[in-house]
């Protein structure tokens, strides 16, 4: 060893100190945290609604209309995926066009695959620019999904849980399947009970695992996550969907997390106690929903793997994307229709 070389243990200590320092800085920008290192998801800022035409005579600033509204989505994003699933199930593809954006690690946000002409003479290259031009005083996160009203040039809503209710209720006149009600009045209390459990423990729970910045924060949420998955697996042993025999918005909200679990969250977010494939009922439930008409077309699994493993640099500095698992198993028989 040359006399000028640093001792190996010192090199390791310096390297570790440097990486941990940079990691905490990057994580603080990507994932806001509490004092104990737990991830805190900021609230969505735009919470307006679209009124069905029959309810919008003369007073709604966002009345339902075909072609007036546009959805901005990222194919890897589970929150945007909710909107795509409901749009597909209701048959709103012709009434509500979409614009797909992709994450850019260089810019630190969503960018348009092609420049988006918001209004004549105004072109947006990123969602950050889109938000600023639509609402000049906005200083929050530039997230998807976004439901945009092109007639008044305004963001209606960027909260996925509310966008899917809007899509379910407001556009029935323009839907191919207006008879489908994913949020029926008789089941709303039960749906909301499931949502209040699924969101913190599972939908956001996987992010709380992946973005935890201390061991204690991670240890607490991993128990909550798998406790909820274990409970739901037991419930699904005797009923086809969360609220019985009919698919609801509670199932949509759970599905978009489950379909990403084994291909992304299990690995990069350290949600590795079990796979969804290891659950006898959850795995069949996932296949059941995936195989319903139009749903598989909303699932871009290669984009999920590419964007999570390739773009979340602090969690996967190498950018190496794993080969597995085999997503062909999503088309295997599920026998869930035998349940009521």
Selection from 1, 145, 25, 22 nearest residue 78 by Cα: 145
Structure token pair of residue 243: 């609220």
CA distance 132 to 248: 35
Query: Can you give the pLDDT at residue 19?
Result: 46
- pLDDT confidence of residue 59: 59
Residue given tokens 């493993």 in the structure block:
309
Question: Each residue of 292-302: b (16+ CB within 10 Å) or e?
Answer: eeebbebbbbe
Domain 53-174 has CATH 2.50.20.10: no
d(CA 33, CA 211): 8
Note the pLDDT tens digit of each residue in 135-170. Answer: 888 888 889 999 999 998 899 999 999 999 999 999
143 token code pair: 């997230």
Residue 85: closest CA among 241, 303, 299? 299
Residue 215: predicted pLDDT: 94
Helix (H, G, I), strand (E, B) or coil at 4: coil
Give strand pairing partners of 154: 149
Q: Is 59 helix (H, G, I), strand (E, B) or coil?
A: coil
Q: For residues 78 and 41, is the Cβ–Cβ distance under 8 A? A: no
Convert the pLDDT of each residue in 221-253 to its tens digit.
999 999 999 999 999 999 999 999 999 999 999
Stated as kind and residue range, the H or E segment containing 50 is none
What SS3 state is found at 2?
coil
What pLDDT is stored for residue 139 in this prediction? 82
> What class does CATH assign to 185-338?
mainly alpha
> Which residue ranges of the chain lie beneath pLDDT 50?
1, 17, 19, 21-27
Cα 99 to chain centroid distance, Å, stands at 16
CA pair distance 268, 315, nearest whole angstrom: 7
Active site residues: 77, 207
Residue 80, CA distances (Å) to 72, 86, 239 in order: 8, 10, 27
The residues that bridge with 102 in the sheet, in sequence order, are 111
CB 88, CB 295: distance < 8 Å: yes
Q: Give the DSSP H or E segment for 193.
A: helix 188-198
Q: Contact at 8 Å (CB) between 63 and 51?
A: yes
Residues of the chain with CATH 3.40.30.10: 53-174
pLDDT at 67: 97
Look at the alpha carbons of 49, 55, 56, 60 in this order and tell me if their dihedral is positive or negative.
negative
Q: Is the pTM of this model over 0.75?
A: yes
> Phi then psi for 173, rounded to 5 degrees?
-60, -25
Question: What pLDDT score was predicted for residue 23?
Answer: 43
Residues near 62 by Cβ (< 8 Å), separated by ≥ 6?
48, 49, 50, 51, 56, 149, 152, 156
pLDDT at 6: 57
**Helix (H, G, I), strand (E, B), or coil: what is residue 114?**
strand
Residue ranges, comma separated, of all CATH 1.20.1050.10 domains in the chain are 185-338
């Amino acid at each position: 060893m040359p006399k000028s070389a640093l001792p190996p243990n010192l090199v390791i200590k310096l390297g570790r100190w440097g990486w941990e320092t940079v990691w905490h800085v990057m994580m603080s920008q990507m994932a806001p945290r509490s004092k104990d290192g737990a991830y805190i998801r900021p609230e969505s800022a735009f919470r307006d609604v679209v009124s069905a035409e029959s309810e919008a005579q003369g007073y709604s600033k966002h009345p339902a209309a075909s072609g007036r509204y546009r959805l901005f989505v990222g194919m890897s994003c589970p929150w945007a995926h909710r909107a795509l699933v409901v749009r597909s199930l209701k048959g709103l593809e012709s009434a509500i066009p979409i614009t797909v954006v992709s994450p850019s690690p260089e810019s630190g946000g969503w960018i348009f695959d092609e420049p988006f002409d918001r209004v004549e003479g105004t072109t947006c290259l990123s969602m950050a620019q889109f938000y600023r031009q639509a609402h000049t005083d906005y200083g929050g996160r530039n997230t998807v999904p976004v439901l945009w009203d092109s007639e008044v040039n305004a963001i209606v809503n960027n909260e996925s849980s509310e966008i899917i209710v809007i899509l379910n209720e407001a556009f029935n006149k323009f839907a191919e399947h207006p008879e489908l009600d994913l949020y029926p009045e008789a089941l709303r209390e039960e749906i909301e009970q499931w949502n209040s459990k699924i969101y913190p423990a599972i939908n956001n729970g996987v992010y709380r695992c992946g973005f935890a910045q201390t061991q204690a924060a991670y240890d607490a949420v991993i128990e909550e996550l798998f406790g909820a998955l274990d409970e739901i697996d037991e419930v699904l042993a005797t009923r086809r969907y969360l609220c019985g025999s009919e698919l609801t918005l509670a199932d949509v909200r759970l599905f978009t997390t489950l379909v990403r679990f084994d291909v992304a969250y299990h690995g990069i977010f350290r949600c590795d106690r079990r796979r969804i494939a290891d659950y006898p009922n959850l795995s069949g439930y996932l296949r059941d929903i995936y195989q319903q008409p139009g749903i598989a077309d909303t699932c871009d699994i290669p984009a999920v793997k590419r964007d999570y493993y390739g773009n979340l640099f602090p969690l996967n500095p190498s950018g190496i994307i794993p080969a597995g698992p085999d997503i062909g198993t999503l088309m295997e028989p599920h026998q869930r229709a035998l349940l009521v």
